[in-house]
Structure 1
Amino acid sequence: MKIRTFLIILIVFGAFYLYTQFQKYSSRPMPTELNSVVEEKMNSLITTTEERGIVIVITDGFRSEAEQNVLYQRGRSTDGQIVTYAKGGESYHNYGLAIDFALRNKNDEVIWDMDYDGNQNGESDWMEVVSVAKDLGFSWGGDFSRFKDYPHLQLDFGLSIQELQWGKRPRDVVD
């Protein structure tokens, strides 16, 4: 009987804690642009890779929930291949915390070739970009276990999608 009472009290306090956390942040509006720290690190990524003879193109950054939903429909209710499993509000792009990149080759074409070695140093330019990005603190979508998203880089500040949906923002964990 004592264990059951303890569990009920624990559940009630847990629910109260979650409710107060939700209330604390829930009135915050959705971001409308790339987070300033992410933008700064993105610019460092571009500069550092250029110094190595690699030209990258940022193909996507901040994405609204509506834009995310359009992408989510690709390969489902619209033509094309599935490119995401995240609906609007479920992507780090929606919170300004993610970017996607591609390479620009010697012919000035934008490519997604993970084996391309344009700077001819014996290493894949793609993986050199990933290495620099990781050194800057980004997580790489190629390391994801469920859906490999090779062009994707994110800086989540330790926040889960659920916390972001509740209204928590990077300044809450950085301040």
Structure 2
Amino acid sequence: MKIIKSLLTILLLIGSGVIILTIANHYMPSSSFFEREEVPPPNSLHSTVREAKDTLIARSAQKGIEVVITDGHRTDQEQNELYERGRSKEGQVVTNVAGGESYHNYGLAIDFALKLDNGDIVWDMERDDNANGKADWMEVVSIAKDLGFQWGGDWTSFKDYPHLQMNFGLSIRELKYGERPDTGEYAAE
């Protein structure tokens, strides 16, 4: 009887869609159960991403390709500034997501480019400066995928060719609500 007294009963009319649910009130979550709060994102790259980034640079160099990481962790403000390009600010659209909606904001993504011998930074997907008959860009992408990165060039809608990310099976929504990858720690870039 004590159990019955500690139960909370919610009635929903069966005939008009009401069902009777009985829930133990001591198991009942707080009122904020359905109102999840966003958790501030980390402020650096995840260590697994950082290590893979360093390995990507080293393995690419072994093939005669100099990779430059043009972006890593981004704050929401930095993401919003990029989002405004081609919209409320001049320039070409470079992202389809605002602050808090990018894996960059959670330290799980990097962007890369190629560095030429003269120091110029390029986003040329067809260059073959190491003269092996393969586009340097795609060689870097192949190395990145071997390291566990997902490539934005594989996306079906907005292609983001410089973008590499590791989402660890977590959605942006899960990250917003505080879920974090189990492996590694966040570390300075």
The bucket for the TM-score relative to the shorter chain is: 0.7 to 0.9
- SS of 1:134's partner is helix
Structure 1: distance between partners of 2:155 and 2:81: 22
User: Which residue number corresponds to residue 117 of structure 2?
Assistant: 106
User: Which residue number corresponds to residue 77 of structure 1?
Assistant: 88
User: Which residue number corresponds to residue 86 of structure 1?
Assistant: 97
Choose from 140, 143, 153 the match for 1:132.
143
Aligned residues of 2:38 and 2:176 also touching (Cα < 8 A): no
Deviation at 1:27, TM superposition (A): 6.7
Structure 1: distance between partners of 2:59 and 2:87: 38
Aligned residues of 1:22 and 1:167 also touching (Cα < 8 A): no
- SS of 2:111's partner is strand
What is the alpha-carbon root mean square deviation over aligned residues? Answer: 2.3
Q: What 5-or-longer segments of structure 2 have no aligned partner?
A: 1-13, 22-28, 185-189
Q: Which has the larger radius of gyration?
A: 2
Cα deviation digits, residues 48-88 of structure 1 (max 9, x gap): 11011110000000000001011111111111111111000
- SS of 1:170's partner is coil
- SS of 1:42's partner is helix
> Which protein is richer in strand relative to its size?
2
Deviation at 1:106, TM superposition (A): 2.7
Q: Sequence identity of aligned pairs in percent?
A: 55
Structure 2: distance between partners of 1:166 and 1:95: 12
TM-score scaled by length of structure 1:
0.84
User: Which residue number corresponds to residue 57 of structure 1?
Assistant: 68
Cα deviation digits, residues 28-58 of structure 1 (max 9, x gap): 4321111111001100000011011110000
Instruction: Identify if the C-alpha distance between structure 1 residues 27 and 85 changes in structure 2 by more than 3 Å, giving closer, same or farther.
Output: closer
Deviation at 1:21, TM superposition (A): 8.5
- SS of 1:153's partner is strand
Aligned residues of 2:39 and 2:176 also touching (Cα < 8 A): no
- SS of 2:70's partner is strand
User: Which residue number corresponds to residue 123 of structure 1?
Assistant: 134
User: What is the number of residues matched between the two proteins?
Assistant: 162
